[in-house]
A and B are shown apart, each in its own frame.
Chain A
Amino acid sequence: MTKKNILAGMALVVGLVIPSLAFAANEGEEPKHPKQGWPHEKIIGAHYDRAAAQRGFQIYKEVCHACHSLNLIAFRQLEGIGFSEPEIKAIAASFTVMGEPNMETGDVEERPGKPFDYIPSTFANPEAAAASNNGAVPPDLSLMVKAREGGASYIYSILTGYREPTAEDLKHVSGGKIPDGAHFNPYKTGHVIAMPPPLAEGIVTYTEGQPAASVEQMAYDVSTFLAWAAEPKLEQRKHMGFLIVAFLLITSGLLFWSYKRISKQVLGH
C-alpha cells in the first residue's frame, strides 16, 4: 500500500460514512424502540423464550385473534414453542373450523379444529374485516415481525406506545388532528393508527406461577410469539450458522497454510 492508496482508502471511508449519517438523520422521525435485545436476536445461544411465547399465544388467541388472522400457522406447529401433543389437541379443539364436504350430502359443516388445521380467521374476507374495523383491514400477523423495520421491538412499541397526543405531537400528524375512530401512536408511520389500543391491565388472566399480566408483560409475550410465528426456523438456523462458521474458520486457516506452502514450493516465496 502506498501513501496515496491509504489516502484513497480514507476518502472511501469518508464517502461511505457521511451519506449513512445523513441517512440516519433522515429517519429520526419515529422515536427509538424502548424494548431492545430479545433472546432470539442473540448471535450465540439464540432462542425463543418458550414460556413467553406460550403466554403470547394466549394473548393472540384471546385478544388479537378477534381482528387479526395468522394464516401461516397450523396448530401442529405450536409444538415449536413447547406445547405438548395433548395441549395442541385441546388448543385446536377450542377453535371452530370449516370441515370437509359431507360424503353423502356434500354439505360443508363446521367442526372443532384438529392439529393439522391452520388457525382459522375470524372474518370470511378482508371486506368483512374492514366493515368491523372502521374501514381498516387488520393485517395478517404471521409475518408482521419480518415485515416491519425493528422486528419484535416494533410490535412491542406499537402495543405499548399509545398515549394522548400533545400539541407538539399533533404538528407531525397530517391534517393536525387524529381522525375519528383512529388513535395516536408515535411508532406508526404517520403517527395515526386505526387499531384501538388492544392491551389493557386485566384483559387476560395468566395461569398460576406466571408473571402478572401488565401491559408491558403482555406486549413482550405476544411480540415473542409473533417473532416465532414469522421465523420458526430461526433457532435451527443460528445454531447451524455457528457450526458452519466455526468449520469454515478452521478450513480457511488450513487452506491458507496449504496455499502458502505450495507458493513456497512453486514460486519460492
Chain B
Amino acid sequence: MTSTRPFEPKNGFVKWFDRQLPLFSVMHGALVAYPTPKNLNYWWSFGSLAGLMLGVQIITGIILAMHYTPHTAMAFASVEHIMRDVNYGWLLRYVHANGASFFFIVVYIHIFRGLYYGSYKAPRELLWMLGLVIYLLMMATAFMGYVLPWGQMSFWGATVITNLFGAIPFVGEDIRTLLWGGFSVDNPTLNRFFSLHYLLPFVIAGVAILHIWALHIPGSNNPLGIDVKGPQDQIDFHPYHTAKDAFMVSLLLLIFFAVVCFAPNYMGHPDNYIQADPLVTPPHIVPEWYYLPFYAILRSIPDKLMGVVAMFAAILILFALPWLDKSKVRSGTFRPIFKQFFWVLVIDVIALGFVGANPPEGAWLIIGRVATAYYFFHFLILLPVLSRVEKTRPLPESISQAVLAKHA
C-alpha cells in the first residue's frame, strides 16, 4: 500500500540518516501514514495490544533473569527471593506471570477476530500463517517459562508434555532425551528451557515484524470484508488509530493491573507454590489455562500417539484454513450460516477448555469427545461444504458508502 502522506522530514539529522538508511520513513509509513480502512472496529486494536504484551514480557523477563537462578536446587528459592527481597520484585514477577495469560487472552481474541471476518483469506494467507507461527512460538515460550519457577506443576507439567514426544514412532525417544538433556526432567532440562525461554521471545519479535510487513502489503481487512476502492475508503493510522489504540491500551492495562494487584494467583495453580518433588505426583496435573482446549483434545483420543497427532493437527489445520474455506465473501457479517457456526466453534473451544481442566472420566470424557469431533468437523467438513452452498447476503458497494449509510 502506498502511503498517502509522503515522508518529508525537516530535521537535518533525520534527513541525513534516512537517505542512508530509511528507518524513519519505514516507521513513518507504518505508524503515521499507514492507510487503513475507515470502518475498523475495536477488535482491530488487539494486534497493537498483542505487541504491547510482547514488549511487557520481554522487559519484565530480562529484569527477572537478572535475579533468577536456573538450577533445580535454587530456582524455586530464587523466585521467592524475587518476591520478597528484590525491590518491586513481586510486581515484576506477577506482571510477567499474568502477562503471559493476558498475552494469550489478547492473541485469542485477535485470532477469533480473524476467523469471524475472514482475515485469513486471499490476499492475506501468508499474514495469517505468520500469525500462527507466532502463536506456536508463544505456546513453546510460555510452556518453558512455566517450568522455570520449578514448582510441582512446573515439574509435572514438563514431565507430561515432554513425554508426549516419546510417543512419536522411531525418533520419539531421541527427541525426548534431547528435550530432557538426560533421562528425566532434571537440571539439564531446566537449563536448556531457561536458555530457550530467553531466546524465543526475540524470535517472536522477528516473526512479528514479518507479520506486520505482510500486513502492510495488502493492508488491513475490515468488518465488511470488502476491498478498499480508493482513498475515500481510508484513513491514516495517525492520529485516528494512535488515539483509538491508546485508549484500548489504557483499558487493557486497567484490567491487567486490577488482576496483577488484586488476584495475581487467580490464573495460577496453588501446587506451583510447592517446590518440585520428583517423588510426589500431584493428584491432578493440569497445564496452564491457555493450553486446556488442546490438552482436552489430546486426552479424548484413547490412543496416546493418535492423541498427540490430533492435538498438533488441531493447530496445524488452521494453516490450511485459507484453502478449506473457499467462500469469496470474507466477513461473517454477510454469511448468515457461517456466522451461527462461528459461535458454535467459540462455545466448542470454551467447552474443550473446561474439559481440559477436569479429569478425563464420566461426562467430561463424553463432552470432550463430542467437542473434539466437532472441532475437526467444523474445519474439515463444515467450512468446505458451507463455502460452496451458502447463500451470502449482498455486499455493500464500498466501505465509504456503508459508513455514510450507517451514520446518515
Q: Which residues of A contact B (CB under 8 A)?
A: 4, 8, 11-12, 15-16, 19-20, 22-23, 26, 43, 72, 77, 139, 142-143, 146-149, 189, 230, 232-233, 236-238, 240-242, 244-245, 248-249, 251-252, 255-256, 258-259, 262-263, 266-269
Known A20-B354, A240-B261, A245-B257; judge A259-B244 contact (CB<8 A): yes
A12 touches B83 (CB 8 A): no
**List of B residues within 8 angstroms of A240 by Cβ:** 91, 261
Residue from A72, A147, A149, A189 with most neighbouring chain B CB atoms (10 Å):
A147
A233 touches B90 (CB 8 A): yes
Interface of A is mostly: helix
B347 touches A12 (CB 8 A): yes
Q: How far is the CA of A16 from the CA of B260 in the complex (A)?
A: 24
Q: How far is the CA of A143 from the CA of B38 in the complex (A)?
A: 53
Q: How far is the CA of A236 from the CA of B84 in the complex (A)?
A: 12
Q: How far is the CA of A139 from the CA of B91 in the complex (A)?
A: 27
Select from chain B the residue with minimum beta-carbon distance to A142.
Answer: B80
**List of B residues within 8 angstroms of A269 by Cβ:** 407
Q: How far is the CA of A238 from the CA of B259 in the complex (A)?
A: 10
A8 touches B357 (CB 8 A): no
B250 at the interface (CB under 8 A from A): yes
Could you list 15 further interchain pairs (A-B, Cβ under 8 angstroms) beyond the known A8-B340, A77-B84? Answer: A15-B347, A19-B354, A19-B367, A23-B357, A143-B80, A143-B274, A148-B270, A237-B264, A241-B257, A241-B260, A245-B261, A255-B243, A258-B247, A263-B243, A267-B240
Select from chain B the residue with minimum beta-carbon distance to A257.
Answer: B247
**List of B residues within 8 angstroms of A77 by Cβ:** 84
Interface size on B, residues (CB 8 A): 48
Select from chain A the residue with minimum beta-carbon distance to B90.
Answer: A233
Q: How far is the CA of A78 from the CA of B84 in the complex (A)?
A: 13
Q: A-facing mask of B72-85, CB < 8 A → 1, else 0?
A: 00000100100110
B235 touches A266 (CB 8 A): yes
A263 touches B240 (CB 8 A): yes
- The total number of A-B Cβ pairs within 8 Å is 113
Select from chain B the residue with minimum beta-carbon distance to A269.
Answer: B407
Select from chain A the residue with minimum beta-carbon distance to B251.
Answer: A252
Q: How far is the CA of A142 from the CA of B270 in the complex (A)?
A: 13
A232 touches B84 (CB 8 A): yes
B262 touches A43 (CB 8 A): yes
Q: A-facing mask of B239-260, CB < 8 A → 1, else 0?
A: 1100110110011011001101
B343 touches A248 (CB 8 A): no
Chain B proximity of A9: nearest CB distance (Å): 8
Select from chain B the residue with minimum beta-carbon distance to A229.
Answer: B84
Q: A-facing mask of B311-339, CB < 8 A → 1, else 0?
A: 00000000000000000000000001001
Residue from B38, B336, B347, B363 with most neighbouring chain A CB atoms (10 Å):
B347
Q: How far is the CA of A149 from the CA of B383 in the complex (A)?
A: 43
Q: How far is the CA of A91 from the CA of B283 in the complex (A)?
A: 39
In residues 65-122 of chain B, which contact A (Cβ within 8 Å)?
77, 80, 83-84, 90-91, 94
B281 at the interface (CB under 8 A from A): no
Residue from A236, A240, A241 with most neighbouring chain B CB atoms (10 Å):
A241
B265 at the interface (CB under 8 A from A): yes
**List of A residues within 8 angstroms of B262 by Cβ:** 43, 238, 241
Contact check: which of A4, A139, A244 meets B261 at CB < 8 Å? A244
B273 at the interface (CB under 8 A from A): yes
CB pairs A–B below 8 angstroms (23 shown):
A4-B339, A12-B347, A15-B351, A19-B350, A23-B354, A23-B358, A72-B80, A143-B80, A147-B274, A233-B84, A237-B264, A241-B258, A245-B254, A248-B250, A248-B253, A251-B250, A252-B250, A252-B254, A255-B243, A259-B243, A259-B247, A267-B240, A269-B407
B363 touches A22 (CB 8 A): yes
A147 touches B270 (CB 8 A): yes
Chain B proximity of A11: nearest CB distance (Å): 6
**List of A residues within 8 angstroms of B239 by Cβ:** 262, 266
A259 touches B246 (CB 8 A): yes
B247 touches A241 (CB 8 A): no
Known A15-B347, A256-B247, A262-B240; judge A248-B254 contact (CB<8 A): yes
Known A252-B251, A259-B247; judge A146-B270 contact (CB<8 A): yes
Q: How far is the CA of A230 from the CA of B354 in the complex (A)?
A: 29
Contact check: which of A22, A43, A255 meets B250 at CB < 8 Å? A255
